[in-house]
Structure 1
């Protein structure tokens, strides 16, 4: 087992080689110590996981370590997308979340991502502190009887309600679009098709069952890995194809002609819509990794 490297995207490694139960307990202990250090233990922590091999067992180990340090656990009862786990923080007013996922990496990988109380990416000062706690081995000493409780949660319905309050689903329904959706065997199973079929739309779902091997590929919605989605959009004469990565925080879109539209292209289309149709004005901030087309 090599040195554990904990960054803004958390920690990832090959299952049983780098990502082991022993290493996971150490990382979980460091995060628990951080939660206690920030006096967030009473607010609890959400624990979610994707569809990878041993995902639920890894999540259970994290829960055990959190409870040992007196932190309440909100434990997801099924594989849950990373954005939904983040939503769960706000929904429960929790002190943060841990997501067990290796995102779009190959099947042999597993990962641990810490999401702070504001439900966004962990900033460097947070991950640096967790790393320091990890290296020091410092943990919070929980007196006898102070163990945190565990509450099982499922945020799907609440998340659907939230989306309905933010997106004009009526316009999508009235458009009568016919979709092909592909969660790529990942945590997004049941989400896209659930929202869209709930509108009475004609939905064809691909790879919507759990497969820890992801069909022998990677759960990454890039053009060369969406061959079947593209083919089905064309052969079924569908209006659009929608794909999600392993933890459903990345997407890929295919138009009615089977042409792949990258997330950066979608971002530019959304920006143009907000500026020209919605009339929004003001400065726009983008990350270094985002397309310069916005400029």
Structure 2
């Protein structure tokens, strides 16, 4: 829970442990590299950090980035909130040593979380998270690096460029389907709408702004949370 267990001090502890893990000479001996065939990349390849639209996600992400920077690990942080797939794509595209995503997924707004992405962009196996946990320090000192030292990058643009290669514009524009986009106040807001605008496809956008309370609901597409979407869809059929 934010401000209870999920604090800046604890984020710094995880960041320091992550730095120790990435800099460890024994990391390449893990099964993920020896048996699974994952590509090993040293800490010198850097870490990509993303964050969602939750309360203090950006601030937590920069705090984590500053600790890594203090450890001599190159860091790139998203210049805006991003969905997890965009962060994962950046890790693979930039051949980074790993990625860190600040998000609590579909959980209530009082929570936040840290997700470690391995070199292949996917979630790290248990042996990785266990290795990081073993390195957690009892105490940490505040990061020395200023926020301005962290390199910012656009993760949205390259991700959308990849998505465009998977879309058939002719079929999209020929479709009679009416589109309603419900971003549920999440970090994917603006992605689909940008593409549809480029292709000239009309749409209706709802819940497409930042709301750290997610409108009083969990950002989870279950029946009880889709009432506003159903209402808009019903209104377009009249």
Distance 1:123 1:171 in 2: 39
Equivalence for 2:7: 20
Tell which deviates more after alignment, 215-224 or 229-238: 229-238
Distance 1:202 1:101 in 2: 30
Distance 2:99 2:91 in 1: 7
Q: Return the offset for 1:135.
A: 6.1
Q: Return the offset for 1:173.
A: 2.1
Cα contact 1:176–1:201 (8 A) shared by 2: no
Q: How many residues align?
A: 216
Q: Return the offset for 1:120.
A: 0.7
What are the Cα deviations for residues 30-72 of structure 1, in whole angstroms up to 9, with x where unaligned?
A: 1111111246221111111001111111011011111011111
Distance 1:97 1:127 in 2: 13
* 1:102 counterpart (81, 98, 104): 104
Q: Select the structure with the greater relative contact order (CA < 8 A; seq sep ≥ 6).
A: 2
Residue 231 (1) aligns with residue 231 (2): yes
**1:119-268, aligned counterparts within 5 Å?**
119-134=121-136, 150-237=150-237
Distance 1:40 1:169 in 2: 40
Distance 2:170 2:121 in 1: 28
Equivalence for 1:52: 54
TM-score by length of 1: 0.69
Distance 2:113 2:57 in 1: 9
What are the Cα deviations for residues 161-220 of structure 1, in whole angstroms up to 9, with x where unaligned?
A: 101213334322221432111111110110121122221111100011101011111111
* 2:21 counterpart (10, 21, 34): 34
Q: Return the offset for 1:136.
A: 8.1
Deviation above 4 Å: which 4+ runs of structure 1?
135-138
Equivalence for 2:35: none
Distance 1:31 1:167 in 2: 37
RMSD: 2.0
Q: 1 or 2, which has the higher strand percentage?
A: 1
TM-score by length of 2: 0.85
Distance 1:237 1:193 in 2: 21
Gapped regions of structure 1 (runs ≥ 5): 1-13, 139-148, 239-295
